[in-house]
A and B are shown apart, each in its own frame.
Chain A
Amino acid sequence: MQAVRYARPSSVEEAVDLLEQGGDRARVLAGGTDLIVLARERRIDVDLFVDVKALEPLTAIRYDPADGLAIGAAAPCYRIAADPAVQEHYPCLIDCATLIGGVAIQGRASLGGNLCNASPAGDGIPALIALGTTVEIAGPKGRRTVAAEAFCTGPGRNVLTSGEFVVALRAPPPSDRAGAAFRRFIPRGEMDIAVTNAAVHLRFDGDRVASARVAVGAVAPMPLLVEEAGAALAGTPLSEATIAAAAAAARAAARPIDDMRGTVKQRRHLAGVLVTRCIRIAAERAGVQP
């Protein structure tokens, strides 16, 4: 390991100061499952780990029927998966919190860290996008919020500037007739990186889809919100035709690469398949027969 220092600030302001003073070589340490590997393998140069796990807003998980869900950016996946309110109202987040890494990774890894790591294949990100999550950021100039779909700007890149870090992820309150789902494709049963992943959130008004948000991952430099796919579903009841149109829109939005995990052709195909599956599961969770 490079000669990294360790700090455990006791306030958000102290963390901002440490990060701002440290510049690019100071990094936020949450679960460490990405950061410690990046530092050890010298894929980043780092002087200081700023451990944010002593900060209450970064580890709390709070649900309020009027305000929705606030997940502290450093809350580990196992706590998200075990939270009764998340289980009841946001099963889409259970889908991802229970399949990122194995048990030992879920003991530490956070959805906030998954988002900040900004992997194109990050398994937490499409669900955050589909749910309409806003990302609450603290920094030298105070707080700001960014929509989850606007947070990642490229592989390993995000909108955070010097001194900024993510405090919490805020998902809107659930509605009665709404449902969401996340699915990924990997060639083995578990512990793998997605060849492609997708998430869908549907809100119904009667049988009609009132709004739809469709997100796909590992098919572009960052996870994508596919507005055309949402538009193909919204305004009418779900039908084979609208589902097929949404899947086609997801395939059209995909601009994947060939790599060791999959080909352009396979990933584009999977974007359609996974969006179709997520639509059906989301509808079922909303209590609507697709």
Chain B
Amino acid sequence: MTEAAGTRRIVVEATINGEPQEFLADERDSLLEALRDRIGLMGVKEGCNNGNCGACTVILDGRLVCACLVMAAEVEGSAITTIEGIASSDGLHPLQQAFLEDAALQCGVCTPGFIVAAKALLDVNPHPAEDDVRLWLAGNLCRCTGYDKIVQAVLDAAGDGKESA
């Protein structure tokens, strides 16, 4: 990332995965660039960089967003959850465990986005029907699995009864 003339550095304060943070970013950074390149949260993936694939999905103030479609400067004072904030200190989130047990990933690039999106679904709908899962995850693309195992993993995690962990 080269810095063009006229680009300013900015300081952004935000709560990231529960921890208040202050970070330096380029004024033209997207949230995706700030999370990866400035803060080092490499679990947030860059796929299409135009809002179609969902690989960079994070939770911003309680709402799912594509981090590539948010400017870093916009998140001042906000709370952000990335894949790094999904597991607790006790172990994997039930969704992460279900993705492993159901073999719901192959190359893994889409997986962080899927898990963050699925967590947001289970937060509002702890026992979704299959159609609910497929519709909710329509903004996340996977080119490996064919989706069935991902949908099954989300349904299995919901059946665990630990979905709001």
Contact = CB atoms under 8 A, between A and B. Distances in A.
Interface of A: 1-6, 8, 29, 31-33, 36-37, 40-41, 49, 51, 53, 76, 78, 101-105, 107-108, 189-191
B50 A37 contact: yes
Contact of B63 (A5, A37, A51, A78): A78
Contact of B69 (A6, A37, A78): A37
Contact of A107 (B8, B33, B60): B60
Contacts of B139: 101-105, 191
Interface in B30-67: 30, 33, 49-52, 54, 57, 60, 63-66
A64 to B, nearest CB: 27
A105 B71 contact: no
Interface of B: 4-8, 10, 27-30, 33, 49-52, 54, 57, 60, 63-66, 68-71, 73-74, 117, 120, 134-136, 138-140
Contact of A51 (B30, B51, B74): B74
Given A102-B139, A189-B135, 16 more contacts: A2-B4, A5-B8, A6-B71, A36-B68, A36-B69, A37-B51, A101-B139, A102-B138, A102-B140, A103-B136, A104-B65, A104-B66, A105-B66, A108-B63, A190-B135, A191-B139
B26 to A, nearest CB: 8
A104 B57 contact: yes
A5 B72 CA distance: 12
Contacts, number: 95
Contacts of A53: 74
Given A104-B54, A105-B51, A3 B7 contact: yes
16 contacts: A1-B28, A1-B29, A5-B28, A29-B71, A29-B74, A33-B51, A36-B70, A37-B69, A40-B30, A51-B74, A103-B120, A105-B51, A108-B65, A108-B66, A190-B135, A191-B139
A32 B69 contact: yes
A261 B29 CA distance: 33
A249 to B, nearest CB: 34
Contacts of A102: 54, 136, 138-140
A41 B48 CA distance: 12
Contacts of A190: 135, 138
B6 A1 contact: no
A41 B138 CA distance: 24
